Structure 1
Amino acid sequence: MSTDPSRWFDAGVNLFSAQFDQDRSHIVSQAQAAGVSELLLISSDLAETQLNLQFCTEHPGCFFTAGVHPHQADNVSTDWLQQLELLLQQPEVVAVGECGLDYNRMFSAKQQQLRVFSAQLSLAKQHAKAVYLHERDAFADQIDLLQAHQINHGIAHCFTGDVAQLRAYLDLGLYIGITGWLCDERRGTDLQQALKFVPLDRLVLETDAPYLLPRNLTDKPKNRRNEPAFLPAIGAKVAALLQLDMAVVASASRANSLKLFRITADA
């Protein structure tokens, strides 16, 4: 693994968002030019998983998750678990998800969310894959299920919670995904406080592009679209808050991502 400060791993990209329809491959090239050498593409359902699979086979340095987001839980087919199990055999699949619970918008019924999430946790354990976790307004149920399935390998994606929630995830052995939410002076103050309690060896950086454009960018794009190339801006905010050198943040966050997702990468 490299200690080169220009090497970054973006552990969360929604590359098949419609916002990237016109320039998907260019986005990856731009990221690599900015020193972001690996990208993890997030899947929200099995159709998007297939799109990510095709893209990753054609683009070295790209990996992806396979799974069903809680918003899509009501829409699974009768054989979705069998389909997912086949997808998990692809070498570019490094995590199960994006999976979890979302009681904020309730796009899927609560009981169905619980069933779909629980099934994915079982598969993750069976296949020794990391879980890629989403949670909103459902923390107690989320933690209960993670504990019931003895989950100790995964990431709290786009973590925006408080210190108590952070410690609960850390106690399970999970990594913490930090996004541009950290750079928001209006709503990121709780996360800025919680960041101080994230051990450096559990810190993972992600853009969640095209969402959560870092507000500390000096030259913001007119379309307000976030891109993997902007990941170093998040790293700069982490470095400033933790009083660390950017090289340390780059090296640690990339090394953590490679370890979490069990990826062997060139130095």
Structure 2
Amino acid sequence: MIDIGVNLTSTRFDKDRSAVIERAKLANINGLLVTGTNVTESQKALSFCHEHSPFLACTAGVHPHDADQVEDNFIEQLRELAKHHYVKAIGECGLDFNRNFSTPKNQQQVFAQQVTLASEINLPLFLHQRDAFQPWFEILKPYIGKIPAMVSHCFTGDLSQLKQCLDADMYIGITGWLCDERRGQILREIVKYIPLERLLIETDAPYLMPRSIRPKPKSSRNEPSYLPYVVAALAELTPYSASEIMHSTYQNAQHVFAWQIQ
């Protein structure tokens, strides 16, 4: 298994980051893709990759929450980061109109610049979207087929949005959101429509801890070792077996991110 979305730079991992990585290995996880959410966090992600090679790779990008704080040369900073072989995608980038921690205007400008960068340097996009599907998709539309891959990270949309993403040949990242019968009911109903060849699995740790974990952990912090709970939920809600899900998502992740794990 490969966890394609881990916020390993979070301060919630500061006390035991190495132990978290070791627990992931014991849980039959072969690699973690560390998420970059701004230039500084992307630099941290890259440094962790150097420390824990070859188990880690990372993305480099600016999350929509951070769009108001970018420096004028942030694209050039990301371009430099992306020259390192550990950096496998541009992102986490996109739009988030749910909280609007940054203005919608700045979010769209910063997102569009990162999409252009991914096209120029031929890297996949690791994408965020919340309550902004149509403007998000409109920015991406001219680049469909011109970027190696687009990954809809932590997909939580409806069936119409899922079909649009699949029609655009996107890969769909599924998290522990699927394990929550309250917030995740729509996703639980439509996940069966994702073809195996377009499926990816992730924890989005330290967020979105699966509600299906028994006994319930004392800490609310999610971690990569809980990824099998996402696989179990997928096996319950789709025609695919757990072994099929693990095999296919492993192959998909290696293909999407050009990441040949030994």
Do both share a fold (TM > 0.5)? yes
Answer yes or no: is 1:245 the counterpart of 2:241.
yes
Question: What's 1:216 paired with?
Answer: 212
Whole-angstrom CA distance in 2 between matches of 1:41 and 1:239: 25
Segment drifting more, 65-74 vs 211-220? 211-220
Aligned residue for 1:97, secondary structure, equals strand
* Aligned match for 2:17, one of 9, 20, 24: 24
CA distance in structure 2 between the partners assigned to 1:185 and 1:78 by the alignment: 43
Residues 13-47 of structure 1 deviation map (CA, whole Å, 9 limit, x = unaligned): 01111111100111111100110110010111000
In structure 2, which of residues 63, 70, 73 is the aligned counterpart of residue 69 of structure 1?
Answer: 63
C-alpha distance after superposition, 1:77-99 (max 9, x if no partner) = 11111111101101000010000
Cα deviation for residue 262 of structure 1 reads 1.0
SS in 2 for 1:133: strand
Equivalent in 161, 164, 170 of residue 160 of structure 2:
164
Measured on the aligned residues, the alpha-carbon RMSD in Å equals: 1.0
SS of the counterpart of 1:36?
Answer: coil
Equivalent in the alignment of 1:4? none
How far residue 256 of structure 1 moved from its aligned partner, in angstroms, is 0.8
Aligned residue identity for 1:242: T
* Cα drift, residue 229 of structure 1: 0.3
Question: What's the offset of the Cα at 1:146?
Answer: 0.5
Structure 1: which amino acid aligns with 2:226?
F
Equivalence for 2:88: 94
Which one of the candidate residues 22, 26, 35 is aligned to 2:28?
35
CA distance in 2, matches of 1:243, 1:115: 40
Q: Does 1:130 align with 2:124?
A: yes
1:108 aligns with 2:82: no
How many equivalent pairs are there?
Answer: 259
Percentage of matched positions with identical amino acids? 44
> Which position in structure 1 is the counterpart of 2:45?
52
Highest RCO, 1 vs 2 (Cα 8 Å, sep ≥ 6)? 1
Unaligned runs of 5+ in 2: none
| Letter paired with 1:125 | S
Post-superposition shift, 1:215? Answer: 1.1
Deviations 1:127-164 (A, max 9, x none): 11110100111100011010023355110000000010
Taking the aligned partners of 1:212 and 1:83, their CA distance within structure 2 comes to 30
> Aligned to 1:181, which of 148, 168, 177?
177
CA offsets 1:101-122 (integer angstroms, 9 cap, x no match): 1111111111111111011001
Which residues of structure 1 form unaligned runs of 5+? Answer: 1-7
What corresponds to 1:231 in structure 2?
227
The 2-side partners of 1:176 and 1:244 are apart by: 15
User: What TM-score do the two structures reach when normalised by structure 1?
Assistant: 0.95
Q: 1:171 to 1:243 in 2, by over 3 A?
A: closer
Q: Structure 2 counterpart of 1:120, which letter?
A: Q
Deviations 1:51-90 (A, max 9, x none): 0111101112101000100110110111111111101101
Q: CA deviation at 1:241?
A: 1.1
Structure 2 counterpart of 1:147, which letter?
A: K
